[in-house]
Amino acid sequence: MARRVLVTDADEFLGPGVVERFRAEGDDVVAVSTPLGSRAEVEALVASEGPFDVLVANLEAPITVAPVEAHDDATLGHLFDRLVHPLFWLLGACVPSMRERGTGIVVVPTSATVLRSSGHPIAGYESARAAQLAVVRSAAKELAGDGVRINALAPNFIENPSYFPPETVADPEFQAAVRSEVPAKRLGTAAEAAAVVWWLASPEASYIHGVVLPTDGGWRLG
Protein backbone atom coordinates (compact mmCIF):
# COMPACT_ATOMS: atom_id res chain seq x y z
CA MET A 1 0.00 0.00 0.00
CA ALA A 2 1.41 3.38 -1.02
CA ARG A 3 2.41 5.69 1.79
CA ARG A 4 1.25 9.30 1.87
CA VAL A 5 4.40 11.46 1.95
CA LEU A 6 4.77 15.21 2.42
CA VAL A 7 7.93 16.87 1.08
CA THR A 8 8.38 20.60 1.74
CA ASP A 9 10.46 23.10 -0.24
CA ALA A 10 10.26 20.44 -2.93
CA ASP A 11 12.13 22.44 -5.58
CA GLU A 12 14.98 23.40 -3.25
CA PHE A 13 17.80 21.78 -1.26
CA LEU A 14 17.28 17.98 -1.27
CA GLY A 15 13.67 18.25 -2.43
CA PRO A 16 13.93 17.31 -6.14
CA GLY A 17 15.92 14.14 -5.51
CA VAL A 18 13.74 13.13 -2.57
CA VAL A 19 10.50 13.54 -4.52
CA GLU A 20 11.92 11.52 -7.41
CA ARG A 21 13.13 8.68 -5.15
CA PHE A 22 9.94 8.33 -3.10
CA ARG A 23 7.75 8.38 -6.22
CA ALA A 24 10.00 5.76 -7.81
CA GLU A 25 9.42 3.60 -4.73
CA GLY A 26 5.67 3.86 -5.28
CA ASP A 27 4.87 6.38 -2.54
CA ASP A 28 2.10 8.96 -2.96
CA VAL A 29 4.02 12.23 -2.66
CA VAL A 30 2.59 15.66 -1.94
CA ALA A 31 5.37 18.04 -3.03
CA VAL A 32 5.00 21.58 -1.67
CA SER A 33 7.23 24.09 -3.43
CA THR A 34 6.30 27.41 -1.84
CA PRO A 35 7.93 28.31 1.49
CA LEU A 36 5.71 27.74 4.50
CA GLY A 37 4.55 31.07 5.89
CA SER A 38 2.49 30.37 8.99
CA ARG A 39 1.19 27.72 11.35
CA ALA A 40 -2.32 28.23 9.99
CA GLU A 41 -1.09 27.60 6.45
CA VAL A 42 0.56 24.33 7.49
CA GLU A 43 -2.51 23.21 9.43
CA ALA A 44 -4.71 23.89 6.39
CA LEU A 45 -2.31 21.96 4.14
CA VAL A 46 -2.29 18.91 6.39
CA ALA A 47 -6.06 19.06 6.86
CA SER A 48 -6.65 19.07 3.10
CA GLU A 49 -3.88 16.73 1.92
CA GLY A 50 -3.14 14.54 4.94
CA PRO A 51 -2.88 12.61 7.10
CA PHE A 52 0.67 11.73 6.18
CA ASP A 53 2.61 8.56 6.89
CA VAL A 54 5.95 10.25 6.19
CA LEU A 55 7.01 13.88 6.58
CA VAL A 56 10.24 15.02 4.94
CA ALA A 57 10.77 18.45 6.48
CA ASN A 58 13.13 19.65 3.78
CA LEU A 59 13.56 23.33 4.66
CA GLU A 60 15.79 25.77 2.79
CA ALA A 61 17.11 29.27 3.44
CA PRO A 62 19.86 31.27 1.72
CA ILE A 63 23.10 31.26 3.66
CA THR A 64 24.10 34.67 5.00
CA VAL A 65 27.88 35.04 4.97
CA ALA A 66 28.75 37.83 7.42
CA PRO A 67 30.67 38.42 10.64
CA VAL A 68 28.75 37.46 13.75
CA GLU A 69 28.32 41.10 14.75
CA ALA A 70 26.67 41.80 11.39
CA HIS A 71 23.90 39.25 11.95
CA ASP A 72 21.08 41.71 12.59
CA ASP A 73 17.57 40.83 13.75
CA ALA A 74 16.18 40.75 10.23
CA THR A 75 18.82 38.25 9.12
CA LEU A 76 18.29 35.99 12.12
CA GLY A 77 14.53 36.28 11.90
CA HIS A 78 14.54 35.22 8.27
CA LEU A 79 16.75 32.19 8.95
CA PHE A 80 14.63 30.96 11.85
CA ASP A 81 11.40 31.74 10.00
CA ARG A 82 12.53 29.50 7.14
CA LEU A 83 14.36 26.72 8.99
CA VAL A 84 13.10 26.41 12.58
CA HIS A 85 9.55 27.75 13.00
CA PRO A 86 8.18 25.71 10.05
CA LEU A 87 9.60 22.55 11.62
CA PHE A 88 7.51 23.17 14.74
CA TRP A 89 4.46 23.96 12.58
CA LEU A 90 4.90 20.75 10.58
CA LEU A 91 5.31 18.60 13.67
CA GLY A 92 2.32 20.30 15.29
CA ALA A 93 0.13 19.51 12.29
CA CYS A 94 1.41 16.04 11.37
CA VAL A 95 2.29 14.38 14.68
CA PRO A 96 -1.20 14.16 16.28
CA SER A 97 -2.53 11.78 13.63
CA MET A 98 0.72 9.79 13.75
CA ARG A 99 0.36 9.40 17.53
CA GLU A 100 -3.27 8.35 17.11
CA ARG A 101 -2.38 5.69 14.53
CA GLY A 102 0.70 4.56 16.47
CA THR A 103 2.97 4.97 13.50
CA GLY A 104 4.69 7.75 11.57
CA ILE A 105 8.04 8.87 10.23
CA VAL A 106 9.72 12.28 10.10
CA VAL A 107 13.03 12.94 8.34
CA VAL A 108 14.72 16.34 8.65
CA PRO A 109 17.62 17.31 6.35
CA THR A 110 19.80 19.70 8.36
CA SER A 111 23.44 20.43 7.52
CA ALA A 112 26.83 18.93 8.24
CA THR A 113 27.67 22.28 9.84
CA VAL A 114 25.84 20.95 12.93
CA LEU A 115 28.78 18.51 13.23
CA ARG A 116 31.65 20.73 12.10
CA SER A 117 31.59 24.50 11.83
CA SER A 118 32.17 25.91 8.39
CA GLY A 119 35.28 27.90 7.60
CA HIS A 120 33.00 30.74 6.53
CA PRO A 121 31.32 33.23 8.91
CA ILE A 122 27.78 31.83 8.82
CA ALA A 123 26.86 31.77 12.52
CA GLY A 124 23.18 32.49 11.89
CA TYR A 125 22.74 29.65 9.41
CA GLU A 126 24.68 27.22 11.60
CA SER A 127 22.59 28.23 14.63
CA ALA A 128 19.31 27.64 12.81
CA ARG A 129 20.44 24.25 11.54
CA ALA A 130 21.63 23.32 15.03
CA ALA A 131 18.22 24.30 16.39
CA GLN A 132 16.62 21.89 13.93
CA LEU A 133 18.79 19.09 15.28
CA ALA A 134 17.84 19.96 18.86
CA VAL A 135 14.17 19.68 17.89
CA VAL A 136 14.79 16.30 16.25
CA ARG A 137 16.55 14.86 19.28
CA SER A 138 14.01 16.13 21.78
CA ALA A 139 10.97 15.12 19.74
CA ALA A 140 12.45 11.72 18.93
CA LYS A 141 12.75 10.88 22.62
CA GLU A 142 9.25 12.17 23.29
CA LEU A 143 7.55 10.28 20.45
CA ALA A 144 9.45 6.99 20.22
CA GLY A 145 7.03 5.26 22.59
CA ASP A 146 4.11 6.33 20.38
CA GLY A 147 5.52 4.58 17.33
CA VAL A 148 6.71 7.78 15.67
CA ARG A 149 10.29 7.91 14.41
CA ILE A 150 12.12 11.22 13.89
CA ASN A 151 15.63 11.36 12.46
CA ALA A 152 17.89 13.80 10.64
CA LEU A 153 20.65 13.74 8.09
CA ALA A 154 23.53 16.19 7.90
CA PRO A 155 24.42 16.83 4.25
CA ASN A 156 27.13 18.96 2.73
CA PHE A 157 28.75 19.08 -0.69
CA ILE A 158 25.66 17.54 -2.30
CA GLU A 159 24.58 18.72 -5.74
CA ASN A 160 21.36 20.66 -5.21
CA PRO A 161 19.65 23.75 -6.64
CA SER A 162 20.00 25.81 -3.46
CA TYR A 163 23.60 25.54 -2.26
CA PHE A 164 25.54 23.73 -4.98
CA PRO A 165 23.75 24.53 -8.28
CA PRO A 166 25.14 23.58 -11.72
CA GLU A 167 26.94 26.88 -12.26
CA THR A 168 28.85 26.44 -8.99
CA VAL A 169 29.61 22.79 -9.70
CA ALA A 170 31.04 23.71 -13.12
CA ASP A 171 33.50 26.26 -11.68
CA PRO A 172 37.08 24.86 -11.87
CA GLU A 173 38.08 26.70 -8.68
CA PHE A 174 35.16 25.15 -6.85
CA GLN A 175 36.06 21.71 -8.18
CA ALA A 176 39.59 22.17 -6.86
CA ALA A 177 38.21 23.22 -3.47
CA VAL A 178 36.07 20.09 -3.33
CA ARG A 179 39.09 17.88 -3.99
CA SER A 180 40.92 19.69 -1.21
CA GLU A 181 38.16 19.87 1.41
CA VAL A 182 36.15 16.69 0.92
CA PRO A 183 37.91 13.40 1.72
CA ALA A 184 35.82 11.62 -0.95
CA LYS A 185 37.21 14.22 -3.41
CA ARG A 186 33.88 14.70 -5.15
CA LEU A 187 30.38 16.06 -4.66
CA GLY A 188 27.59 13.76 -3.63
CA THR A 189 24.70 13.43 -6.02
CA ALA A 190 21.09 14.32 -5.35
CA ALA A 191 20.25 10.64 -5.69
CA GLU A 192 22.79 9.68 -3.02
CA ALA A 193 21.29 12.13 -0.53
CA ALA A 194 17.76 11.04 -1.42
CA ALA A 195 18.75 7.44 -0.78
CA VAL A 196 19.68 8.36 2.81
CA VAL A 197 16.35 10.13 3.32
CA TRP A 198 14.47 7.16 1.88
CA TRP A 199 16.38 4.67 4.07
CA LEU A 200 15.61 6.64 7.22
CA ALA A 201 11.94 6.54 6.21
CA SER A 202 12.01 2.85 5.32
CA PRO A 203 11.19 -0.23 7.43
CA GLU A 204 14.92 -1.04 7.36
CA ALA A 205 15.46 1.84 9.83
CA SER A 206 12.61 0.78 12.12
CA TYR A 207 14.74 0.88 15.30
CA ILE A 208 16.47 4.18 14.53
CA HIS A 209 15.34 7.17 16.62
CA GLY A 210 16.87 10.63 17.01
CA VAL A 211 20.03 10.17 14.94
CA VAL A 212 21.77 12.64 12.67
CA LEU A 213 23.32 10.75 9.78
CA PRO A 214 26.33 12.48 8.14
CA THR A 215 26.00 12.66 4.36
CA ASP A 216 29.01 14.73 3.41
CA GLY A 217 31.76 12.65 1.81
CA GLY A 218 33.69 12.82 5.08
CA TRP A 219 33.83 16.63 5.20
CA ARG A 220 32.94 16.73 8.91
CA LEU A 221 36.15 14.80 9.68
CA GLY A 222 38.24 17.88 8.89
Q: CA neighbours within 13 Å on the CB side: how many for 27?
A: 23
pLDDT at 179 over 90: yes
Report the pLDDT value the prediction gives residue 80, as an integer from 0 to 100: 98
pLDDT at 52 over 90: yes
Residue-wise pLDDT for 188-212, tens only, equals: 999 999 999 999 999 999 999 999 9
pLDDT at 90 over 90: yes
pLDDT at 74 over 90: yes
Residue-wise pLDDT for 94-143, tens only, equals: 999 999 999 999 999 999 999 999 889 999 999 999 999 999 999 999 99
Looking at per-residue pLDDT, the higher value among 128 and 163 belongs to 128
User: Is residue 51 reached through a cis peptide bond, with omega within 30 degrees of 0 on the bond before it?
Assistant: yes
Looking at the chain, the whole-number percentage of residues with pLDDT higher than 90 is 95
pLDDT at 1 over 90: no
Report the pLDDT value the prediction gives residue 222, as an integer from 0 to 100: 85
CA 14 and chain centroid, separation: 7
pLDDT grade for 51, boundaries at 50, 70 and 90: very high
Instruction: Set out the domains of the chain in order of their start, with CATH numbers.
Output: 4-221 (3.40.50.720)
The stretch 139-161 carries a mean pLDDT of 97
pTM: 0.96
Report the pLDDT value the prediction gives residue 119, as an integer from 0 to 100: 84
pLDDT grade for 48, boundaries at 50, 70 and 90: very high
Report the pLDDT value the prediction gives residue 106, as an integer from 0 to 100: 99
Q: Give the 3-state DSSP-derived string for the chain, with helices as H, strands as E and coil as C.
A: CCCEEEECCCCCCCHHHHHHHHHHCCCEEEECCCCCCCHHHHHHHHHHHCCCCEEECCCCCCCCCCCHHHCCHHHHHHHHHHHCHHHHHHHHHHHHHHHHHCCEEEEEECCHHHCCCCCCCCHHHHHHHHHHHHHHHHHHHHHHHHCEEEEEEEECCECECCCECHHHHCCHHHHHHHHHHCCCCCCECHHHHHHHHHHHCCHHHCCCCCCEEEECCCHHHC
Name the average pLDDT for the chain.
Answer: 96
